[in-house]
Amino acid sequence: MKAAVATILFLLLSVAAFAQTPPSTYLIRKDDVLRIQVYGEQQATAEVTVGEDGYISAPFVGMVRAEGRSTDDLVTELTKLYMERLRLRDPKVAVTFSHYAPQRAWVGGAVGHPGEFEFRPGDTILNLIHQAGDPVDGLANQHRAVLQRKGIDERIPIDLFNILRRGDLTQNYALKDGDILEVPSDTRNQVQVMGYIQKPGPLPYREPMTLADAIAGAGGEIQGKSMMSHIVIMREVPASPGTFLQIRPNFVAYEHGDASQNVEIQAHDFIFVPATNTPDLAAITNAVSSIFYVDSVLRAGFLGIRLP
């Protein structure tokens, strides 16, 4: 009777331990720490680390391959080995995880905190994107994120908008070690503020938007350097790709009451704040053309279009 109660207790403890293990799809990895238990054989209880060769040293049976196997699979082999080598009639073997080897994934692009992150077995893209500070509102193209698996050439499209805003979890895949999630910028819904400004770079475009909004979003002028009376706005002509309209507002005049100088900004405008009364318009045009070309290449890449 006592033996039966003890056996039941052991099995209950084993079930509780297994409840803390990763999903059944998780396979043992190098550097995982496993706890091996054999009921009634205290000397066979041990914590073992999966070595670089993928093997563990199991008590009394020696080296056993563990990497790439499930715990159930390992229990089956250990049970057989204990029956053969220790002459145990019906050994009750349990294998659980004491510690998981660190797994890491990388997030880049238009997120709050791009970088490398550790994750737990069973974590998903949703967990990872939250760790990275979520897509930056107005800057990220949430519909065109891409997941790259380690050692696999395929790029898996991920619609983060559907996951985050619509609750559609069909693409909320479980993470794998070495995953790379890239969240591209939505340059079609941005403006660029460059030159002598406190925080040069892209800004999310939110209609309606004025020059004053863009200047404020970029941190304002640099005192003693920014020539705010000679700002240049470059705007691509819709019917003529590669051709740009030049707009020359006098922001100083706006600050003195001329509201007409606070021009309305459009998505994809390029705003340059010079440090001279005679900015090099040819150089600015070349720089803008390069930015627009790179943007077109990136968008074509997502669409599968080959450019010259």
pLDDT of 299 above 60: no
> Higher confidence at residue 53 or residue 300?
53
- Residue 21 or 182, more confident: 182
The Cα–Cα gap between 155 and 178 comes to 14
Q: What is the CATH number of domain 103-183?
A: 3.10.560.10
Which pLDDT score is estimated for 288? 56
pLDDT of residue 179: 96
Domain(s) labelled CATH 3.10.560.10 in the chain stretch across: 103-183, 187-303
Average pLDDT (148-158) is: 91
The whole-angstrom separation of Cα 265 and Cα 208 is 8
Task: Give the model confidence (pLDDT) of 182-231 as tens digits.
Answer: 999 876 678 989 889 999 988 888 878 999 999 999 999 999 889 999 99
Question: Could you tell me where the beta strands, DSSP code E, fall in 125-226?
Answer: 145-148, 155-158, 180-183, 190-195, 201-204, 209-210
Which amino acid is present at 10? F
Tell me whether strands 232-236 and 270-273 are parallel, antiparallel or unpaired.
Answer: antiparallel
**Burial of 49 by CB count in 10 Å (0-12 exposed, 13-18 middle, 19+ buried)?**
middle
Q: 69 by DSSP, 3-state: which?
A: coil
Quick one: pLDDT at residue 114? 93
Neighbours of 301 (CB within 10 A): 15
The pLDDT of residue 107: 96
Please name the fold of domain 2-99: wza like fold (3.30.1950)
CATH 3.40.190.10 is the classification of domain 187-303: no
From-to residues of CATH 3.30.1950.10 in the chain: 2-99
Half-sphere exposure of 193 (CA within 13 A, CB side): 24
pLDDT score of 237 more than 90:
no
